[in-house]
Amino acid sequence: MWRKLDNIVLNIRTYADLSPDLSIRRQINQAMRSRPTRTSEDWYRSFWQPLSISQDLAIFVYQQMEAYSGLQFAKITPSDRLTEDLQLPLVCWFDWECTLCEDFHDRFGIEIRDRLDIGMLHTVRDLVIFLNQQLLSVNC
């Protein structure tokens, strides 16, 4: 009986450690509220088309990263830093990077699990360019 109770308490603690911090998520969204809101198409045209980034990829990042983080990607800019500004390790579920790799594979048919190192990517621009390079390396 005590073992069962210990497991329940441990599960509750673990869940809290692995789940997104909703208060930080709210703070970040609140801090960005004065920024312009862009549709995924506007986000692509404004930031990624000039860099010759695939539109399909830009929209993928816009949609998926919003789903993983709960942040309003309509207000995110390429210069936003993944850790310092967006706090991705805190606002996403603990396994968001694995989910990104799976979703990227499902969408584009490219395995990036062995190449993705979020610690080496500092901004949204870095992430998008990395993912675009993965697309280009297969299409060459």
Instruction: Please state, in angstroms and rounded to a whole number, the distance separating the CA atoms of residues 74 and 80.
Output: 13
User: What's the pTM?
Assistant: 0.85
pLDDT > 50? residue 11: no
Domain boundaries, the chain: 21-139
User: pLDDT for 79-137, tens place per residue?
Assistant: 999 999 999 999 998 889 999 999 999 999 999 999 999 999 999 999 999 999 999 98
Q: At 9, which amino acid appears?
A: V
Q: How far apart are the first and last CA of the chain?
A: 61
Q: Nearest-5° angle of CA 43, CA 51, CA 80?
A: 55
The set of residues, in sequence order, having a beta carbon less than 8 Å from that of 101 and lying 6+ positions away, is 111, 112, 113, 116
